[in-house]
Structure 1
Amino acid sequence: MDSVTQAALGAAVAAVVAGKKSSPKILLAGAALGTIPDLDVLIGYGDPVSDMVKHRGFSHSLFIMLPFSWLLAQAWQQWRPSRFSFTQLWLLIAACLITHPLLDAFTSYGTQLLWPFDISFAVSSIFIIDPLYTIPLLVVIFASLFWREKMAKLCGIGLAISTVYLAWSVIALQLIESRVEGDLAGTALENKPVFIAPTPVNTVLWRVVVLDGDTYWEGLTSLLDKDNTIDFIAKPRGEWLLNEKPKRLLMLEKFSDQFVRYQQIDDKLIVTDLRLGMAEYLPFSFAFAQESNNDEWKMLSPEKMEEKRVRPKHLPALWLRLLGNQNINANLCHIKECPDDLNSLL
């Protein structure tokens, strides 16, 4: 999640753990602790793919955060003895640190909660920025500065509201998963790899991507749709043109669970992570090879490509689609109605 959300979460958690000992300083300390795991972005791993894949690694591991919180508690007690017992202080620090990666695990990016074991968790039920999760936390934190005697209680209420919303996001994901499963049943896409994630800043409109060999199908479906039929559009997924795949490409494929697109653009081979973003606004694209004048390919150290910026004119259409206006999909083709020349699905 974004830094503002993580800071707000850390502050609220700190106030709840501190209870009657809560104060503005506790809120500030909790906010700072809540952002510590993301400081791994300051570490350079040598190339953009490694930086992307290894983010949310060791600094988000429960195996690291627990002993690290103990060390921080020890250091704090030695440097500046507080009103808290060591156990209380350790609990407060650990809670602020651990809730950060646990929240991150609900996004699509992938969080290595059990690092150094190569296991990534990604529930994909909430977008990395979602005001409906963050605003309740910010409101109660601001209010608690005026009603300090109720600081812990207010922060507990905000935390409860945000947690209920997070639980709702999981329920919404399950509803969409059931809809997608039913829509693909009996088609050539049944049992194909499927990726589902919420579109930006909401849990109502969802993006669905289905892999189908050198093609992928992308569609949108809203919980407010009157018709559960999902309209998909077929897009070329491409394939890797060279005989061997470099180590960084294998790393990206594994990280994205094979949801990648291969393209030759001008003289470069580009690989794009299909999970993050939507339509043509996919921010994680990397050049892995370049063609020389004599038609030979030269491997590159991965280069991150410039991102396409979302055009404001598209936002109203996205909002209408969220509200269940399926006419926005008029230019798409449902897999059960596509002509044979579109991948001969049926």
Structure 2
Amino acid sequence: MDSVTQAALGAAVAGAIAGRQCSPKVLLAGAALGTLPDLDVLISYGDPVSDMVKHRGFSHSLFVLLPFSLLLSWLWQRWRPIPFSFMRLWLLVAACLITHPLLDACTTYGTQLFWPIPYPVSISSIFIIDPLYTLPLLLTVVAALLWRGRAAKLCMVGLGLSTIYLSWSLIAYQMIEQRVEQYTASTDLEGKPVFIAPTPLNTVLWRVVVKGEHTYWEGLVSLFDESNEIALIAKPKGTFPEGLQPSKHINMLDHFTSGFIKYEQRDNILVVSDLRLGMVDYLPFQFALATQSAQGDWQLTDPRQLESPNVQPKHLPALWLRLLGNQDIDANLCHISECPDITASVVNM
């Protein structure tokens, strides 16, 4: 999640645990602890692919944060004593640190909760920025700064509201997942890997990606849809060039995305894109990983991240209408991103 959300979450957790000892200093300390795991963005791993894959790595691991919280609590108690027992102080520090990666694990990007075990966790039930999750935390923390006598209770209210919304996002995810399973049953897409993620700033409109061997299918599903039909648009997934040995970066991307990547040739460049992050053809994580010579031979190159087109403001009304359940918008999805005209009728019903 974004830094504002993580800071508000950390402050609310600290205030709730501090109870009557809650103060502006405790809230600020909680906010700092809540954003601490994201300081790994300052670390360069040598190339853009490694930076992407290894972000939310060791600094988000439960195996690292638990012992680190003990060390940090001991140092805090020794050099700046506060009116807490050590166990309560440790609970405060550990909770502020650990709720950060647990929340991140609910987003699309994924979090390596069990680093050094290479198994990223991604529930993908909430977008990285969602005001309906953040505002209850932010408003109650600000109120707690103003009304110290009720600070802890206010923080608990904020945590309760945000937790209810996060729980709702999991329910909404399951509803969309069930609908996709029912729609693809007894079709060519039955049993194929499916990726589901909320579209920006909401948990009503969801993006669905179905992965095939050489093709992937993409569509939008709203909880307000009156019909159970899903317009899935077929797009070429591409294949890795023959004769080219996969590099460690390609293997890293394939593992990190669970295979939800596409290969495409742009002029003489091999571009590999993460299909999970983005919307339609607005894919922010695109990497140039190889070049083709005049003789047609491919050669691996140092990874280079490419700029992706930004979503145009003129397209937002169409997405808003789609959120409200207007399925007629689906027929124009390709034209929103100016992608090739590919037939949407791709499954044998």
**Is residue 11–residue 34 contact of structure 2 (8 Å, CA) maintained in 1?**
yes
**Is residue 101–residue 113 contact of structure 1 (8 Å, CA) maintained in 2?**
yes
> Whole-Å Cα distance in 1 between the matches of residues 33 and 124 of structure 2?
24
Match of 2:305 in 1: 304
Match of 2:22 in 1: 22
> Whole-Å Cα distance in 1 between the matches of residues 70 and 111 of structure 2?
22
Match of 1:226 in 2: 226
Q: CA 1:303/1:233 → structure 2, altered by over 3 Å: closer, same or farther?
A: same
Deviations, residues 279-311 of structure 1 (Å, cap 9, x unaligned): 011000101101234433221111101121110
> Whole-Å Cα distance in 2 between the matches of residues 63 and 117 of structure 1?
10
Residue type at the aligned position of 1:320? L
| Counterpart mapping for 1:58-69 below 5 A | 58-69=58-69
Residue type at the aligned position of 2:313? P
Match of 1:291 in 2: 292
Match of 2:282 in 1: 281
Aligned residues: 341
| Counterpart mapping for 1:26-37 below 5 A | 26-37=26-37
Match of 1:90 in 2: 90
Q: What displacement does 1:344 show? A: 7.4
Match of 2:181 in 1: 181
- Structure 2 residue runs without a partner (length 5+): 335-341
Match of 2:41 in 1: 41
**Is residue 231–residue 332 contact of structure 1 (8 Å, CA) maintained in 2?**
no
Q: What displacement does 1:313 show? A: 0.5
Secondary structure of 1:303's counterpart equals strand
**Is residue 261–residue 271 contact of structure 1 (8 Å, CA) maintained in 2?**
yes
Residue type at the aligned position of 1:248? H
Match of 1:151 in 2: 151
**Is residue 10–residue 32 contact of structure 1 (8 Å, CA) maintained in 2?**
yes
Match of 2:213 in 1: 213
> Whole-Å Cα distance in 2 between the matches of residues 68 and 209 of structure 1?
38
Query: Is 2:177 the partner of 1:202?
Result: no
Q: CA 1:341/1:68 → structure 2, altered by over 3 Å: closer, same or farther?
A: closer
Secondary structure of 1:10's counterpart equals helix
**Is residue 22–residue 152 contact of structure 1 (8 Å, CA) maintained in 2?**
yes
Q: What displacement does 1:332 show? A: 6.5
Residue type at the aligned position of 2:50? S
Q: What displacement does 1:115 show? A: 1.0
Q: What displacement does 1:345 show? A: 4.8
TM-score by length of 2: 0.95
Identity among equivalent pairs (%): 63
TM-score by length of 1: 0.95
Deviations, residues 34-53 of structure 1 (Å, cap 9, x unaligned): 00111111111111111111
Q: CA 1:129/1:31 → structure 2, altered by over 3 Å: closer, same or farther?
A: same
- Structure 1 residue runs without a partner (length 5+): 334-338
Q: CA 1:181/1:344 → structure 2, altered by over 3 Å: closer, same or farther?
A: closer
What is the alpha-carbon root mean square deviation over aligned residues? 1.7
Match of 1:328 in 2: 329
Residue type at the aligned position of 1:195? F
